[in-house]
Structure 1
Amino acid sequence: MLDIPNRGVHPVASAESPAREADPGLPEGDRARLDAAIDDLRTGAALWGKLTLPQRRTLLRRIRAAVVAVAEEWADVASTSKGLEPGHPLRGEEWLSGPYAALVALDAYTDTLGALARGASPLDDLRVDEAPGGRVRVHVLPTAPIDRLLLSGYTGEVWLQPGVTAAEAARTAGLGQLPGADAGGVGLVLGAGNVTAIPFLDVLYELLAFNRVALLKVNPTQDDLVPVYERALAPLIGAGMLRIVRGAGDVGAYLTTHPGIDHVHITGSVTTFEAIVWGSGEDAAQRRETGVPRLGTPITAELGGVSPIIVVPGEWSEADLRFQAEHVVTMRLYNSGHNCIAGQVVLLSADWPQREAFLAALREAYDAAPARPVWYPGAQARVDDAASAHPGSQRMGDGSRVLIEAAAADAAPVQTTEYFAPVLGVVELPGLGQDFVDAAVAHANTELTGTLGANVIVDPVTQAALGDAFEQAIAELRYGTVAINAWTALGFLTPTCSWGAYPGGTLADAPSGIGVVHNARLLDRVERSVVRGPFRPFPRSVAPANLAAGGRPSVLPKPPWFVSARTGAAVSEGLTRFRMDGNPVRLSATLLQAFGA
């Protein structure tokens, strides 16, 4: 670990100057240490290139053991850093979004390397069929019996880009781990500041998808986690395949233009991405005009966006209204809204007879969710800005949450500004049935900023009545992850799903980024992931009427990631500990706790 001290509160890589040699804010001693780290990684890259697939698999297992050893500390430090003190009902978020996500990803990558080492394709044990538009679709969840229990009723698919055949998908799955794959050199990972598993997972993807060792630049908001990252990733650090550095914008600016860096990956904001690529001020304007970026190194990015929640009108019970209102509130308030994939705009039918009943349930759930700090730098100011930009908005909870209800013509700010804070908008559109679905899809595609993720809530009777037209509408959504009766965060948490913007982002226009991560089966030419869940939880999910209507059966009550789950913290910790040791007694106790949600 190189301790480059923070200076000020600049973004991760604000790139205030166009060339690293001209940056007066970074002392020569810090530059020398960064240069030495990159030199170490050059040596580590050569070592990585010599490892066989079984040796690489063994290395992943060593990392897994290291994660197990630090998991409790990881969750505790992350919770405390976000103001969730011991006993807070939402501390389970940091188990799921930290060590749990790391463990399931390591297990999935280990399986992929095992298949490749046997001379098989990572797709050999998966169902492959067609999605709308003649696309190839790979079913990536569930892949094991335990998935069918822990995520009962949930499924995941990766849709490949049009033109990819099933044979090509099987042949190219493996990416950087295929025989003869090019060495990727040294990558710079500019770590996210909001979710603690993201830097860890991005390092793994650099290593496995691109054969690239990594220099991880930690966001200053994650500085308290650096000792945890160092121990969790110690096998990579010890082999010279990873170096971790702290620092503010001056460090990021120096590294993004360093001649020893072969690739840059960032999880962050569009503003930071544009500063890295084009610079700032008049220099950036001139570069954009000429089309010559400041950055001469390839870059991938995940940049967030404004995520829609399309609520398809149907005939819902009071229990349905309450459950789906809590579902929507979870999409917004998990991690206090500091998520790139947080649902921000509910698209609601103005003609739905139950419109007002749903809004009443939504207001109640939004107001009643557990109090927590708005902890991300600048977030409270964005909450205040949202309230000011939308006259008539409501302050809810302890006053830190804003609810905006508006007609489509009056909703521009909440549809175009990613607030990255507890701000939820409701935008009404006309129509019922397929007319509403088509209008909502078109509205999401054209009026909301970004292409990262979209959520759709639809009851089984309505979905069955819509038939193939509903699936075609899903295909028309231009988003990198689409969730049906689930939150797109499930796609993030499922390592075999891909995660990233819908294809088409460029250096000049990348509202949600370029490329994908996670994707543990290492599929090439990914278009999107689609996750599906049960409209109703247990026991209503197994009621004869629900099953007769085509509803998904599930043995799960309220999911532990719901902000309204009373036992969510204990269940999330228990599920992580089961992933750590596979103890069936522990799992049984955790499932009993889940039924107390």
Structure 2
Amino acid sequence: MTPTSQPRPAAPATEEQRGAVDAAVGALRSGARSWTHLTLEQRARLFERVRDTVVETADEWVAVASTSKGLDAAHPLRGEEWLSGPYAVLGAIDGYVASLRALAKGASPLDGVRTDAAPGGRLRARVFPAAPLDRLLLSGFTGEVWFRPGTTLPAARADAGLGQRHPTHEATVGLVLGAGNITSIPVLDVMYELLAENRVSILKVNPTQDALVPVFERALAPLIEPGFLRIVRGGGDVGAALTQHPDITHVHITGSATTFDAIVWGTGDEAAERKRENRPLLTSPITAELGGVSPIIIVPGVWTDADIAYQASHVATMRLHNSGHNCISGQVVILSRDWPQRDAFMTALRAAMAAAPERPVWYPRSDEKLAAAASAYPDADWTADHTRAIVDVGPGEDATAVETTEYFAPVLGVVELEGNGQEFLDAAVAHANTRLVGTLGANVLIDPDTEAALGAGFERAIADLRYGGIAINTWTGIVFATPILTWGAFPGGTLDDVSSGIGVVHNTLLLDHVERSIMRGPFRPFPRSIGGRSRFSVLPKPPWFVDSRTSTPVAEGLTRWHMSHSVGGLVVTLAKAMRS
């Protein structure tokens, strides 16, 4: 992504901080030796213990996270912290345990998963729904993992398991620089490092999540006690000391390309010189998830008034979830100027953005991002006490700022292209690939009749989208929250040009050779999902929509189902979902 400001050089760590870092790394070296002696079954039981401690801390986890973001106990969007916190972590743990047990029996995690051909000589694994109840909890949703072109089914099956295919190989010590926006990210990253790479971790939390450290320490106690994890606080000084520590063999970061470059190359004139001479400051390998500017492609079709209202709410959710502080927030809507319903959709979108519950814009320096948007686009439509903007870029106007700056705040751009049908879709895909910064996630909304009319042309266009996560009639945030899918940038990032990152995470089947993951959802909710070509779903408005009337109780209820598998509790939750 294009940085909006230059990173500030970190002050050197104090002697006390360096001592704490050395002690943590020393404990991890011992833990790495212990990890190699655990069998696959012992690792599965260990993660079952982690599951128990996550369950024990879930209520406090959500309470602390909500308070830190300015959401009081009565706020209607508090449910976001259930779904993007304990819910996502519990789903990942269950998936990893299943993969460990399959490997322990000599099987592949891919065994039993339906595979077929995807466009461009690719192999596709249809991994979701993974269990019968998935068809109810995410009714109408399906998820696929696409492998890189040329990957064969025997190779995909044989290599599934990653580090757990060789559990006795020497474990190493890595650094995880945690994200500051979504509370499950650092936990999921630590677990993936341990299982995919046999790498124990020192987790440096982002200062925005300092209040959660005591919760994380209890939730992850089964990993901390044997020396598989250490958690430290601190700012850039501690982070710099860790990245340069001689015993750290790998770095993983969730953050911005600006921070990535500062870690790899340094800052200021020194960084430019190092890049020219190909002398990275960082000598260890690094993986990263770095966000970008995500498109929302609206394929023109014949929509009902209810379709327009629902999908306008959908787009508002993509931008306003977590107050826009998501690497995967939809930022640029790509519309056809020839779509007869363009004006009706824009009217509904402005109403949905304005009507969503107000909440703090809480992430550090968000005020600077909002001010930058206001300066670049003085005619933007502002609502919610000047904290939300729609930038409708007209013909001949410059869309560069909104297409190349990840605002990480509630700023939604709209750009227009000509055409309808396949002509528009191909142009929109090319525009997203070449004009928008980043390759992390793309969203496509298309009604079922138009999708059927395009046929193979639609699938080819999806294959042409160079993004690591693609959501069709849903939001890429659901790709993130469904950890059997992979999460990360489209392959191709390098130290010189990292784009949206290098490598993937989540990936509970521990698949190798992955190119992207795709989630497909229903264009219409229940009961409008009945009949015609619509993808059937029993769900009304999903609980992650910002205008869902029962968002918090349903999100909490779904998490509690993962916690205890209480059928009675699930029935109550589904009844509340029907009133959304």
> Shorter-chain TM-score category?
over 0.9
Aligned pair partner of 2:187 in 191, 200, 208: 200
Equivalent residues in 2 for 1:300-449, closer than 5 Å: 300-407=287-394, 409=396, 410-449=398-437
Q: CA deviation at 1:183?
A: 3.1
Aligned pair partner of 1:488 in 457, 470, 476: 476
Aligned pair partner of 2:247 in 241, 260, 277: 260
User: 2:36, 2:169 within 8 Å by CA — same for their partners in 1?
Assistant: no
Q: Which amino acid aligns with 1:62?
A: R
Aligned pair partner of 1:279 in 241, 266, 272: 266
- What's the secondary structure of 1:121's corresponding residue? coil
Seen in structure 2, the aligned counterparts of structure 1 residues 336 and 389 have a Cα distance that, compared at 3 Å, is same
- What's the secondary structure of 1:407's corresponding residue? coil
Q: CA deviation at 1:182?
A: 3.9
- What's the secondary structure of 1:336's corresponding residue? helix
User: 2:167, 2:198 within 8 Å by CA — same for their partners in 1?
Assistant: no
Partner of residue 38, structure 1: 25
Q: Which amino acid aligns with 2:510?
A: L
State yes or no: 1:74 paired with 2:61.
Answer: yes
Q: Which amino acid aligns with 1:451?
A: T
Give per-residue Cα distances to partners, 1:361-417, cap 9 Å, x unaligned.
000000100000000001122112102101311111232101100136521100000
Q: CA deviation at 1:181?
A: 6.7
Give per-residue Cα distances to partners, 1:50-74, cap 9 Å, x unaligned.
1000000000000000000000000
User: 2:123, 2:151 within 8 Å by CA — same for their partners in 1?
Assistant: yes
State yes or no: 1:227 paired with 2:210.
Answer: no
- What's the secondary structure of 2:334's corresponding residue? strand
State yes or no: 1:217 paired with 2:204.
Answer: yes
State yes or no: 1:296 paired with 2:289.
Answer: no
Q: Quick check: 398-407 or 135-144, which moved more? A: 398-407
User: 1:578, 1:586 within 8 Å by CA — same for their partners in 2?
Assistant: yes
Partner of residue 463, structure 1: 451
Q: CA deviation at 1:184?
A: 4.2
Rounded Cα–Cα distance in structure 1 between residues aligned with 2:78 and 2:427: 38
Rounded Cα–Cα distance in structure 2 between residues aligned with 1:422 and 1:384: 12
State yes or no: 1:16 paired with 2:4.
Answer: no
User: 2:39, 2:167 within 8 Å by CA — same for their partners in 1?
Assistant: no
Partner of residue 486, structure 2: 498
Q: CA deviation at 1:179?
A: 2.9
Give per-residue Cα distances to partners, 1:427-451, cap 9 Å, x unaligned.
0111100000000000000000000
Aligned pair partner of 1:581 in 549, 552, 564: 564
- What's the secondary structure of 1:531's corresponding residue? strand
How many residues matched?
575
Rounded Cα–Cα distance in structure 1 between residues aligned with 2:244 and 2:169: 22
User: 2:242, 2:248 within 8 Å by CA — same for their partners in 1?
Assistant: yes
Where does the alignment leave 5 or more consecutive residues of structure 2 unmatched?
1-5
Q: CA deviation at 1:15?
A: 8.1
- What's the secondary structure of 1:243's corresponding residue? strand
Give per-residue Cα distances to partners, 1:309-355, cap 9 Å, x unaligned.
00000000000000000000000000000000000000000000000
Partner of residue 512, structure 1: 500
Q: CA deviation at 1:14?
A: 6.2
Partner of residue 465, structure 2: 477
User: 1:16, 1:253 within 8 Å by CA — same for their partners in 2?
Assistant: no
TM-score computed with the length of structure 1 as normaliser:
0.95
Partner of residue 15, structure 2: 28
Q: Quick check: 335-344 or 277-286, which moved more? A: 277-286
Q: Which amino acid aligns with 1:81?
A: S
Partner of residue 152, structure 1: 139
Where does the alignment leave 5 or more consecutive residues of structure 1 unmatched?
1-12, 18-22
Aligned pair partner of 1:558 in 520, 537, 541: 541
User: 1:89, 1:568 within 8 Å by CA — same for their partners in 2?
Assistant: yes
Rounded Cα–Cα distance in structure 2 between residues aligned with 1:440 and 1:176: 39
Q: Which amino acid aligns with 1:66?
A: T
Q: Which amino acid aligns with 1:435?
A: E
Rounded Cα–Cα distance in structure 1 between residues aligned with 2:224 and 2:172: 16
User: 1:183, 1:210 within 8 Å by CA — same for their partners in 2?
Assistant: no
Rounded Cα–Cα distance in structure 2 between residues aligned with 1:376 and 1:327: 23
User: 1:15, 1:253 within 8 Å by CA — same for their partners in 2?
Assistant: no
User: 1:175, 1:181 within 8 Å by CA — same for their partners in 2?
Assistant: no
Seen in structure 2, the aligned counterparts of structure 1 residues 181 and 140 have a Cα distance that, compared at 3 Å, is farther
| Aligned Cα root-mean-square deviation (Å) | 1.3
Rounded Cα–Cα distance in structure 1 between residues aligned with 2:168 and 2:489: 25
User: 1:407, 1:429 within 8 Å by CA — same for their partners in 2?
Assistant: no
Rounded Cα–Cα distance in structure 2 between residues aligned with 1:390 and 1:378: 19
Partner of residue 116, structure 1: 103
Rounded Cα–Cα distance in structure 1 between residues aligned with 2:14 and 2:426: 56
Seen in structure 2, the aligned counterparts of structure 1 residues 150 and 80 have a Cα distance that, compared at 3 Å, is same
Q: Which amino acid aligns with 2:579?
A: G
Rounded Cα–Cα distance in structure 2 between residues aligned with 1:408 and 1:501: 31
Q: CA deviation at 1:26?
A: 1.7
Rounded Cα–Cα distance in structure 2 between residues aligned with 1:417 and 1:15: 19
Partner of residue 5, structure 1: none
User: 1:105, 1:495 within 8 Å by CA — same for their partners in 2?
Assistant: yes
User: 2:66, 2:72 within 8 Å by CA — same for their partners in 1?
Assistant: yes
TM-score computed with the length of structure 2 as normaliser:
0.98
Q: CA deviation at 1:180?
A: 6.1
User: 1:349, 1:432 within 8 Å by CA — same for their partners in 2?
Assistant: yes
Q: Which amino acid aligns with 1:266?
A: I
Aligned pair partner of 2:75 in 79, 85, 88: 88
- What's the secondary structure of 1:541's corresponding residue? coil
Give per-residue Cα distances to partners, 1:458-510, cap 9 Å, x unaligned.
00000000000000000000000011001001110011100000000000001
Seen in structure 2, the aligned counterparts of structure 1 residues 57 and 423 have a Cα distance that, compared at 3 Å, is same
Q: CA deviation at 1:109?
A: 0.4
- What's the secondary structure of 2:73's corresponding residue? coil
Q: Quick check: 469-478 or 409-418, which moved more? A: 409-418
Q: CA deviation at 1:30?
A: 1.6
Q: CA deviation at 1:33?
A: 1.4
Aligned pair partner of 2:527 in 539, 543, 546: 539
Partner of residue 552, structure 2: 569
Q: Which amino acid aligns with 2:411?
A: V
Q: Which amino acid aligns with 1:531?
A: M
Q: Quick check: 51-60 or 397-406, which moved more? A: 397-406
- What's the secondary structure of 2:109's corresponding residue? coil
Q: Which amino acid aligns with 1:588?
A: V
User: 1:14, 1:250 within 8 Å by CA — same for their partners in 2?
Assistant: no
Rounded Cα–Cα distance in structure 2 between residues aligned with 1:532 and 1:271: 32
Give per-residue Cα distances to partners, 1:191-244, cap 9 Å, x unaligned.
000000000000000000000000000000000100110001000000111000
